[in-house]
């Protein structure tokens, strides 16, 4: 189980941190993937753009390879059982630990006039999103690691208090097929992670036109090159190599890495201009078909509605099964 907030256009970080793994997992597991519209209200209270964003996220999910006939694709607010489970879990989450959450502190800093209770309890609703389907694997990017740790704590507390020796809710774990573990794609200026609403000129969106992709990549942060051979690249250079590993041919990516390894001050073998040009062309080839497929899907809202409705029904059935177990365990089943 995993989700994406409908707070804007999806970007390369969403793809490499989440969607790429989702598309592969759907062939190996029973999967639930969700557009988490309630979560977006914590930081985006104005809902004028919400509907469009929900359709867009769904369309981009499918364009990235998700098959609605295979995985359950749905919208969070179509599963009221999620909100009920959130309520029970909130009684087991403490103010002190919630206030220490890195994402809460970041968002509170960014939106000082709207530090609401939903923002504070974001990790609790996220836990509920996951365990409402009793999901164990959660394909997410590195920024979500702490939330998953918190989710395990809340679930352990629930089982301890209400399980009477049984595991009512399984403990969820962050998941990635990537050999290096959870992925973090940096913003192209090297400042923080790529994200939907920050740093738009330094974020590659899956909806970007070819020229925008080229322009943004040509401006990506680089430096003078390494001082000594076989240096470890700084994170903003590794970010470019990492993208190249995924969108470029293996020999091309290997060549630029080798050029970097051979470079030293006075002998700069690596040509960042060439690297960026190559990466830009490979990225255009990668993003263009996703963009075109998503635009095609967005032109057929009825089909997107059918997909959402079908996913909502499946997700509600799964949620109902869990919430009945939860009510019984908590002792709020009177009939």
CA angle in degrees (0–180, nearest 5) for 194-252-22: 45
Residues 6+ apart with CB under 8 A from 327: 333
Nearest-approach distance from CB 140 to ligand AQP, in angstroms? 3
Among 5, 214, 216, 291, binds ligand AQP (CB under 6 A): 5
Binders of ligand AQP: how many residues, by CB under 6 A? 22
Is residue 12 within 8 Å of residue 63, measured between CB atoms?
no
Query: Does 41 sit near ligand AQP (CB under 6 A)?
Result: no
248 CB-near residues (< 8 Å, 6+ apart)? 278, 279, 282
Say how far apart CA 61 and CA 137 lie, in whole Å: 19
Q: What is the maximum span of the chain, computed from C-alpha positions, in angstroms? A: 80
The yes or no reply on residue 13 touching ligand AQP (CB under 6 A) is: yes
> 107 catalytic, yes or no?
yes
Catalytic residue from among 193, 255, 277, 314: 193
DSSP letter assigned to residue 187:
P
CA angle at 259 for the pair 256 and 262, rounded to the nearest 5°: 155
Q: Work out which of 183, 240, 244, 307 binds ligand AQP, going by CB under 6 A.
A: 183
Of 6-14, 165-173, 239-247, 279-287, the segment contacting ligand AQP by CB under 6 A is 6-14
Catalytic-residue membership of 95: no
Helices (H) and strands (E) in the chain, counts: 15, 5
Q: Which is nearer to ligand AQP, 41 or 185 (CB)?
A: 185
| Span 189-218, contacts to ligand AQP by CB under 6 A | 193-198
Q: Which is nearer to ligand AQP, 144 or 278 (CB)?
A: 144
Q: Which listed residue (196, 216, 221, 276) is catalytic?
A: 196
Residue 140 binds ligand AQP (CB under 6 A): yes
Binding segment (CB under 6 A) for ligand AQP, from list 9-17, 87-95, 157-165, 306-314: 9-17
Our finding on whether 185 is near ligand AQP (CB under 6 A) is: yes
β-strand pairing of 32-35 with 2-4: parallel
305 annotated active-site: no
Q: Of 85, 78, 124, 80, whose CA–CA distance to 326 is shortest? A: 85
Cβ at position 153, least distance to ligand AQP in Å: 19
Query: What's the closest the beta carbon of residue 14 comes to ligand AQP, in angstroms?
Result: 4
d(CA 335, CA 324) in angstroms, rounded, equals 12
Residue 327 contacts ligand AQP per CB under 6 A: no
Spatial distance between the Cα atoms of 94 and 91, rounded to a whole number of angstroms: 8
Residues that bind ligand AQP (CB under 6 A): 2, 4-5, 7, 13-14, 16-18, 140-141, 143-144, 183-185, 193-198
The residues annotated as belonging to the active site are 107, 193, 196
């Amino acid at each position: 189980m995993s989700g994406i907030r409908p707070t804007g256009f999806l970007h390369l970080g969403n793809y490499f941190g989440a969607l790429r793994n989702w598309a592969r997992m759907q062939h190996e597991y029973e999967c639930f993937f969700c557009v988490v519209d309630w979560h977006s209200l914590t930081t985006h209270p104005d809902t004028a753009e919400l509907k469009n964003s929900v359709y867009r996220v769904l369309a981009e999910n499918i364009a990235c390879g998700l098959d609605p006939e295979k995985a359950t694709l749905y919208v969070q607010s179509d599963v009221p059982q999620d909100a009920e489970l959130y309520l029970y879990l909130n009684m087991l989450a403490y103010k002190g630990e919630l206030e220490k959450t890195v994402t809460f502190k970041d968002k509170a800093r960014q939106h000082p006039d709207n530090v609401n209770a939903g923002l504070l309890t974001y990790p609790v609703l996220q836990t509920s999103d996951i365990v409402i389907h009793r999901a164990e694997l959660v394909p997410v990017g590195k920024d979500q690691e702490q939330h998953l740790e918190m989710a395990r704590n809340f679930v352990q507390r629930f089982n301890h208090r209400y399980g009477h020796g049984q595991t009512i809710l399984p403990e969820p774990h962050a998941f990635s097929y990537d050999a290096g573990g959870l992925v973090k794609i940096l913003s192209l200026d090297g400042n923080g992670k790529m994200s939907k609403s920050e740093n738009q000129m330094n974020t590659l969106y899956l909806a970007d036109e070819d020229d925008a992709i080229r322009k943004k990549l040509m401006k990506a942060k680089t430096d003078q090159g390494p001082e000594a051979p076989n240096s470890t690249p700084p994170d903003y250079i590794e970010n470019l190599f990492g993208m190249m590993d995924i969108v470029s041919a293996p020999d091309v990516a290997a060549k630029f890495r080798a050029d970097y390894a051979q470079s030293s001050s006075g002998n700069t073998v690596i040509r960042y201009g060439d690297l960026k040009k190559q990466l830009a062309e490979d990225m255009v080839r990668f993003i263009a078909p996703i963009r075109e497929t998503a635009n095609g899907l967005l032109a057929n809202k009825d089909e997107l509605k059918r997909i959402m409705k079908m996913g909502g029904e499946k997700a509600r059935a799964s949620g109902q099964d869990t919430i009945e177990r939860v009510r019984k365990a908590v002792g709020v089943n009177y009939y």
